[in-house]
Homo-oligomer: A and B are copies of this chain.
Amino acid sequence: MTIKDIARIAGVSVSTVSRVLNNHPDVSDAIRERVQDVVKAYNYVPNNSARDLVRSQSDAIGVITRGIGNLFFSDMLETIGREIDARGMSMVLRQIGSDADEIQAGALLEREKKLRGLLFLGGRFDYTPEELATINVPFVCCSYTNSFGTLSEDAYASVSIDDQQAAFNAVRTLIGMGHKRIAALVPSCRDRSISELRYNGYRAALFASDLPYEKELVVETGGCFEMADAYEGTLELLDRQVPFTALFTVSDTMAMAAMKALYDRGLRVPEDCSVIGIDGLRMSEYFIPTLTTMAQPTEELGRESVAILMDMVQKGLPPRHMCLWATLRSGSSIAPL
């Protein structure tokens, strides 16, 4: 039984059979079904070496991780790798710096490795259609979306939490415990990205509770969630000598580094200062004290990102957008005032 026999029996061309076998999108459902029925009926096993000759490296899914050493991404990479493997594809991983251009990296990787799809693990929230023109394969934004950009919804796929809402809920949790002077540690207040969204959530929560916004309680650490920056930022905040009873940070790693800085200055968490984060890392469950945090659904984020991407790559389905919920994971780093 050869591919020619399948084509003859199904009454289609050899190239149509090939397209079906390789999951190309440009085949009608009716034809696809007819070919698959014949393949099944005759127990036909495609010759892989022949197929590989035709579609060299066609099983490669590029994963661009933005922010080397980001623990949230390394927690998620497990799921993404497993899901890509489970679908018989290969994950080609490229890690770039947190300030690097993931679109350029993706376009380059696409050309170099003949990718069939791209998964961006972290990236900017303000893409324009022009920038994205360099990407010619389906792609999904994992853990972020296009809040500040001008992409049309059908030009990209995304799976993320509502970052502003998660930050809002974190700060409201502190306010609910009686805290009124709540400091914020953020990489940037206007990076048109994840940091700005979470910062906006902080401001919205203060506003919703009629608390004043005080500029001296906000520290911009620069960089992108690095522990060293968060540590220094916390020391800077303390040096300002403006009183605060709670600290909101936009990530778990920053929260842990902040707790370390408070500790090194002789302050106790949560007795002298409550600290809350966002992400829900495995690591922060073991931190002393256990970090209270808005936990992202890491497993689901990774799984759904791959599922949506594969629907686009293998079935030619249109892009989808999914917004998941972050939930409070209680620890011992916050206390009522």
Interface bits A58-98 vs B (CB < 8 Å: 1, else 0): 00100000001101001101100110010000111111000
24 A-B pairs whose Cβ atoms sit less than 8 Å apart in the complex: A52-B57, A56-B56, A57-B57, A60-B90, A69-B78, A69-B282, A71-B74, A74-B77, A77-B95, A81-B95, A90-B112, A91-B92, A92-B92, A227-B282, A227-B283, A227-B286, A231-B286, A260-B286, A260-B288, A260-B290, A263-B288, A283-B283, A287-B288, A288-B288
Is A95 a contact of B68 with CB atoms below 8 Å? no
- Interface SS of chain A: helix
How close is A93's CB to chain B, nearest CB, in angstroms?
5
Q: Is A205 an interface residue (CB 8 A)?
A: no
Task: Output the least CB separation between A10 and chain B (Å).
Answer: 28
Chain B nearest CB: distance from A48 CB in Å? 9
The answer to whether A286 touches B256, judged by C-beta atoms less than 8 angstroms apart, is yes
Interface residue A53 (Cβ < 8 Å from any Cβ of B): yes
* Known interface pairs A56-B53, A259-B288; A113-B90 also in contact (CB < 8 Å): yes
- Ranked nearest first, the 4 interchain pairs of A and B with the lowest CB-CB distance are A74-B74, A56-B56, A260-B286, A68-B78
Max chain B C-beta neighbours (<10 A), residue from A74, A78, A257, A286? A286
A219 to chain B minimum Cβ distance, whole angstroms, is 17
- Give every chain B residue within 8 A of A283 (Cβ-Cβ): 71, 227, 283
Residues from chain B with Cβ under 8 Å of A60 in the complex: 90
Nearest-neighbor residue (CB-CB) of A53 within chain B? B56
Binding site for B on A (CB under 8 A): 52-53, 56-57, 60, 68-69, 71, 74-75, 77-78, 81-82, 85, 90-95, 112-114, 227, 231, 256-257, 259-260, 263, 282-283, 286-288, 290
Q: Which residue of B lies closest to A62 (CB)?
A: B90
Smallest Cβ-Cβ distance to A95: which chain B residue: B81
**Residues on the B chain within 8 Å of A260, using CB:** 286-288, 290
A84 to B114, CA, bound (A): 18
Minimum CB–CB distance from A99 to chain B (whole Å) comes to 15
Taking CB atoms, residues of chain B closer than 8 Å to A68 are 78
Could you tell me the distance in whole angstroms from the C-beta of A291 to the nearest C-beta in chain B?
A: 11
Query: Quick one: given A259-B288, A282-B69, A288-B263, are A93 and B91 in contact (CB under 8 Å)?
Result: yes
Give CA–CA (A263, B287) in the complex, Å.
Answer: 10
| Minimum distance in angstroms from A269 CB to a CB of chain B | 9
From the candidates B95, B113, B114, B286, name the one contacting A257 in the complex (CB within 8 A).
Answer: B286
From residue A324, how far is it (CB to closest CB) to chain B in Å?
A: 21
Give 5 A-B pairs besides A69-B282, A90-B113 with Cβ atoms closer than 8 angstroms: A69-B78, A74-B77, A77-B95, A257-B286, A287-B287
Enumerate chain B residues within 8 angstroms of A112, measured Cβ to Cβ. 90
A332 CA / B281 CA spacing, docked (Å): 24
Hey, which chain B residues are within 8 Å of A93, CB to CB? 81, 91, 93
Q: How far is the CB of A86 from chain B (nearest CB, A)?
A: 12
Q: Chain B's nearest CB lies how many Å from the CB of A262?
A: 9
CB A132 to nearest CB in B, in angstroms, measures 23
